[in-house]
């Protein structure tokens, strides 16, 4: 009797789940999309190289007018590739949940500002936003200058050399900047050509991307059997060692300097200037009785900002140098602007000077349009919704195709052309507000976007004032690789000459 009852219950559960899936698929099948195989869906089409993945996703998105549907195994995804399609989703204060893909980030980045949702996300966002107040960012310009000039000195030896890949040097500079500003620790990464942290970031990003697009790797069992789990653990050890080391170092320093806190609870630094680092605020919040942060909470946020704060900035600077090297006439215009704003000779760039670099900022924005550091974003519905006239069920996963949105010819005529004037004057004002979203948009936009823009302007300004940059690569020769960020597989190969 018990056996029969158990069989009946299991059969009932199976039928209920099958019917629920049928209802969901019936709605999603109304959305245009590529032909999907039974069980596998479109999985085999995304199993090529990382260089082919982005193009495959773009081809998928062309099946619909801004909205398309694919399956990874049995899991459906909806691709959004028009600014009008993503506006409602990104502006919503309700649809803020990240897609299932972000679950694979949690062993590394924990439940952080990037991966959390609901009240946890809202609470952490309120806590961390003051760390990026403009007055605090102004204090960081000194560090931007110091580390940028370190990079300039390092590249002096490459003047007149054959083409070389500038990306590794830029990555180390960006890592030094995020560590010194946000973490309050100078690790001097620019003198470490074989930086294990950077290698681990690249390695784990590749594994996480592979796992997301391979349904047989979704389960922990399949992941372990593949052999990738062991490498994943090794990379995690390296990454967490760096973040935990920064936390320990800063906590020790903060404890020694507690007596020197002023009424604003800013920490006195060695240079006599008051600066409240991102990590300082986390450590202070961990001691607050109303909103305590655990050690795991602190580590998760530190890992998130170490990754997001150096990788996205470094790739954008690299792509900007590629574009300047390929377009000498625009490089000349930017250098002229820098001379007008900064004058001649050695200077320390101030926050006021940064506000005068309108053309340089437009060039960076155009680099972000052509090569968004995060070419896709993910969201998930926790309640039914209607988008572009399609009724979408609860649990629908979205892939927001930023790379495609930035290439919409209706918003950006001749979209593959490097034209920074798109972001100057009236032309920028008449575009759809969601046509350019390199830092996402709405309530879950990037909290550090002003920080990143200021850093990129300082580093590029010092490089362009010192060196004439030339690049002979084509976009095809960059061989764009989609991992968690967009990276040039073959690097950015430039030559440098000193400016007279």
d(CA 66, CA 126): 33
Q: Would you call 387 helix, strand, or coil by DSSP?
A: strand
User: What is the Cα–Cα distance from 495 to 165, expressed in whole angstroms?
Assistant: 9
Report the alpha-carbon distance of residue 451 to residue 137 in Å, rounded: 6
The number of beta carbons lying within 10 Å of the beta carbon of residue 127 is 19
Question: 10 Å Cβ neighbour count for 456?
Answer: 24
- By the 8 A CB rule, do 166 and 491 touch? yes
446 annotated among ligand-binding-site residues: yes
Backbone φ/ψ region at 4: left (φ over 0), alpha (ψ -120 to 50), beta? alpha
| E runs forming strands in 81-230 | 164-165
Q: Which residues contact 56 (CB under 8 A, 6 or more apart)?
A: 45, 46, 48
Q: Determine the Cα angle at 317 with ends 316 and 321, to 5°.
A: 115
- List, as one string, the DSSP characters of 161-181: PSPEE-HHHHHHHHHHHHHHH
8 A C-beta contact, residue 218 and residue 103: no
Return the biggest CA–CA distance within the chain: 93
For 66, the enclosing helix (H) or strand (E) is none
Judge contact between 415 and 409, C-beta under 8 A.
yes
Which pair of structure tokens corresponds to residue 484? 């968690």
DSSP one-letter code for 268? B
CA geometry: angle at 449 spanning 189 and 365, to 5°?
A: 100
Binding site listing: 446
Binding site listing for heme: 446
């Amino acid at each position: 009797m018990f056996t029969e009852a158990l069989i009946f219950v299991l059969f009932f559960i199976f039928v209920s789940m099958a019917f629920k899936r049928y209802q969901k698929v019936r709605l999603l099948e109304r959305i245009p999309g590529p032909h999907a195989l039974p069980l596998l869906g479109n999985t085999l089409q995304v199993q090529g190289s990382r260089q082919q993945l982005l193009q495959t996703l773009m081809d998928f998105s062309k099946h619909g007018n801004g909205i398309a549907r694919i399956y990874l195994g049995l899991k459906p995804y909806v691709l959004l590739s028009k600014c009008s399609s993503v506006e409602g989703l990104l502006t919503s204060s309700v649809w803020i949940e990240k897609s299932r893909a972000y679950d694979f980030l949690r062993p590394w980045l924990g439940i952080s500002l990037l991966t959390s949702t609901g009240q946890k996300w809202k609470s952490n966002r309120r806590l961390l936003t003051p760390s990026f107040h403009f007055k605090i960012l102004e204090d960081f310009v000194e560090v931007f200058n110091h580390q940028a000039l370190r990079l300039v000195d390092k590249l002096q030896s490459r003047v007149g050399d054959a083409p070389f890949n500038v990306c590794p040097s830029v990555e180390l500079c960006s890592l030094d900047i995020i560590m010194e500003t946000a973490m309050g620790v100078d690790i001097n990464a620019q003198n470490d050509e074989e930086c294990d942290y950077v290698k681990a970031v690249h390695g784990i990003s590749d594994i996480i991307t592979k796992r997301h697009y391979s349904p047989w790797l979704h389960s922990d069992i399949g992941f372990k059997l593949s052999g990738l789990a062991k490498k994943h653990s090794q990379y995690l050890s390296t990454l967490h060692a760096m973040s935990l080391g920064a936390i320990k170092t800063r906590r020790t320093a903060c404890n020694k300097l507690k007596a020197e806190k002023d009424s604003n609870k800013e920490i006195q630094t060695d240079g006599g200037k008051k600066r409240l680092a991102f990590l300082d605020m986390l450590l202070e919040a961990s001691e607050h009785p109303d909103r305590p942060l655990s050690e795991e909470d602190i580590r998760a946020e530190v890992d998130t900002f170490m990754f997001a704060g150096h990788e996205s900035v470094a790739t954008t600077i690299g792509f900007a140098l590629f574009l300047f090297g390929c377009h000498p006439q625009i490089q000349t215009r930017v250098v002229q602007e820098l001379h007008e704003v900064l004058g001649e000779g050695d200077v320390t760039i101030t926050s006021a000077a940064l506000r005068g670099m309108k053309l340089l900022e437009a060039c960076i924005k155009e680099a972000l349009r052509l090569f968004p550091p995060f070419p896709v974003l993910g969201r998930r519905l926790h309640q039914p919704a209607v988008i572009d006239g399609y009724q979408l069920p609860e649990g629908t996963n979205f892939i927001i195709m930023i790379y495609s949105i930035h290439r919409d010819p209706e918003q950006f005529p001749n979209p593959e052309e490097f034209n920074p004037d798109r972001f100057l004057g009236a032309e920028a004002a008449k575009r759809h507000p969601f046509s350019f979203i390199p830092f996402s948009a709405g309530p879950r936009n990037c909290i550090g976007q002003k920080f990143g823009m200021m850093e990129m302007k300082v580093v590029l300004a010092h490089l362009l004032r010192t060196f004439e940059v030339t690049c002979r690569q084509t976009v095809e020769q960059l061989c764009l690789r989609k991992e968690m960020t967009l990276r040039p597989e073959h690097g950015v190969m430039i030559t440098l000459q000193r400016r007279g």
